Amino acid sequence: MMNNLVILPLLIPLLTGVLLIFFRKQIKVQRYVTTLSLLLLMAATVVLTHQVSVEGTQTLNLGGWEPPFGIVLVADMFALLLILATVIVTFCCVLYGYRTIGEEREKHYLYPFIHFMIVGIMGSFLTGDLFNLFVFFEVMLLSSYILISLGGEKGQLRESLKYVLINIVSSMLFLVAIGYLYAITGTLNFADLSVKIAETGQDGLITTVAIFLLLVFAIKAALLMYFWLPGAYSAPPMAISAMFAALLTKVGMYAIFRTFTLIFYHEAAITHELIGWLGVATMILGGIGAVAYWDLRRILAYNVIIAVGFIMIGLAVFTEVALAGSIYYLIHDMIVKALLFLLGGIMIGLTGTNQLREMSGMIRNHALLGWMFFLAAFALAGVPPLSGFIGKLLTLHGAIDEGFYVMAAVGLITSLMVLYSVMKIFMNGFWGENQLSVEDEKMSTKGLLFPCAILAVLSVGLGVGVEWVNVYVLQAAEVLNNPQLYIDAVLQN
């Protein structure tokens, strides 16, 4: 189905970003325009999601060039759910950022770069061929390099150097993988690749390229190759950290899901098994990191890593139930990670320190903050009826049905580690002696709790309103589980 609306998630943030460059000094204008454009984007995405759920996957052949020759944008339910979550998370993080990031950064093109990063993320979700995936990855990464180093503090610069280097090297490997794949198949369009590989069979060479691509995406998604993540995500201001934690690794995960459900699904015994064990190793190592540290930001960053491992189990199991669980958990994780980072940011802002041992008793003056953190912690660990529960339940259900007992067991054990690590934050930060009177606090929470409350309500809503959300998640899992649906939508319209 050709549909011009598909371009809107790219066009709205791109044009807004360009427009905002001209209003560098007028911070008020920048804020109003940013809020407005994100609301507009949300509306466009909701309309598009409704159309996709009624009429099936929507595509747009850019410039009228028919696939597989031209560039094609494909909006299926999986991509759209992630886009919707992206918009909501960005909206809340930006609202939070208005009060915390500070004028200096805002004057130096903070909002344009946030918009350009959104363009890259949206593009990665929507694109229908491998090379444009590379291009949109780079759009997203370039903006994230700027956002991570914006402000020029020592820690930021030190971490951004490593982050930039690792991402440039992995992008080069991505180009090499694209080259090999093009040499073997003669096409880069996802749907066409899928058809061609299904016809000729996935031989050893293609499997090797697939694993090579997995390596590239794994670096971006922090799947086992996560060494850059804790430092990089601890460096920038908390509102930006929250966006990174909620969005950037998800793009890498989306790429893994897209390529390994649509194109390289023939040798599941090799590739999907490998993904599963990578996920197990990631969960264990991330869990150890989360339990070990007493630095609030590091604990939260390691929790990002654990979630990556867990989501990959759904792909390793590769049944419709497990895939639905992964999608559900992916959406939940975007919302709850943003919430946790924002709440953590308030805690750090109030006490002026990252160290858990130096904070205490905050619940006396900030009961709402405390209980929201408690809620987020339980949602993250997957306690019913909050949002994490259904995703975990479905993924583990799928894993146990198919006999992946070790993966299911590690998933459950690391849930406990997650719960322990966030409860450690809660107990140290909110219980005990109250060391901080209202006058001693380094900043006020005025206006900061509202964006957090939106995310908290959404998290509860995702858990309680399963029946309502389930329709969409099942549609997304159906497309992932049956590549023919995607191919038909792209190649025969």
Partner 1 sequence: MEILMSVLAGILFTAGTYLVLAKSLLRIVLGTAILGHGALLLLLTMGGIKTGAPPLLGLESTAYTDPLPQALILTAIVINFGTLGVFLVIAYRSYQELGTDDMEELRGTDDE
Contact positions vs partner 1 (CB under 8 A)? 131, 134-135, 138, 141-142, 145-146, 149, 152, 154-155, 157-158, 160-162, 164-165, 168-169, 171-173, 175-176, 178-180, 182-183, 188, 231, 295, 355
Structure tokens at 478: 């159906």
Tell me how far apart the alpha carbons of residues 42 and 8 are, in angstroms, rounded to a whole number: 10
Taking a C-beta distance cutoff of 8 angstroms, is the pair 291, 414 a contact?
no
Which of 147/246 has CB closer to partner 1? 147
Which of 170/421 has CB closer to partner 1? 170
Instruction: Give the shortest CB-285-to-partner 1 separation in angstroms.
Output: 17
Closest to 29 in 3D by CA, of 322, 137, 21, 144: 21
Which of 145/277 has CB closer to partner 1? 145
Tell me how far apart the alpha carbons of residues 302 and 306 are, in angstroms, rounded to a whole number: 7
Q: How many CA atoms lie within 13 A of 279 on its CB side?
A: 29
Which of 212/374 has CB closer to partner 1? 212
Taking a C-beta distance cutoff of 8 angstroms, is the pair 433, 358 a contact?
no
Q: Return the SS3 of 252.
A: helix
Which of 132/202 has CB closer to partner 1? 132
Q: Which residues contact 122 (CB under 8 A, 6 or more apart)?
A: 9, 10, 13, 83, 86, 136
Which of 188/396 has CB closer to partner 1? 188
Instruction: Give the shortest CB-168-to-partner 1 separation in angstroms.
Output: 5
Angle between helices 27-55 and 466-481 (to 10 degrees): 70
Instruction: Give the shortest CB-341-to-partner 1 separation in angstroms.
Output: 19
Which of 219/334 has CB closer to partner 1? 219
Q: DSSP string spanning 160-187?
A: HHHHHHHHHHHHHHHHHHHHHHHHHHS-
Instruction: Give the shortest CB-324-to-partner 1 separation in angstroms.
Output: 35
Taking a C-beta distance cutoff of 8 angstroms, is the pair 128, 72 a contact?
yes
Taking a C-beta distance cutoff of 8 angstroms, is the pair 27, 103 a contact?
yes
Tell me how far apart the alpha carbons of residues 481 and 336 are, in angstroms, rounded to a whole number: 26
Closest to 172 in 3D by CA, of 114, 125, 109, 216: 216
Tell me how far apart the alpha carbons of residues 477 and 76 are, in angstroms, rounded to a whole number: 10
Which of 186/447 has CB closer to partner 1? 186
Q: Return the SS3 of 69.
A: coil
Instruction: Give the shortest CB-181-to-partner 1 separation in angstroms.
Output: 9
Tell me how far apart the alpha carbons of residues 315 and 322 are, in angstroms, rounded to a whole number: 7
CA-based diameter of the chain, in Å?
71
Which of 12/164 has CB closer to partner 1? 164
Which of 293/472 has CB closer to partner 1? 293
Taking a C-beta distance cutoff of 8 angstroms, is the pair 260, 210 a contact?
yes
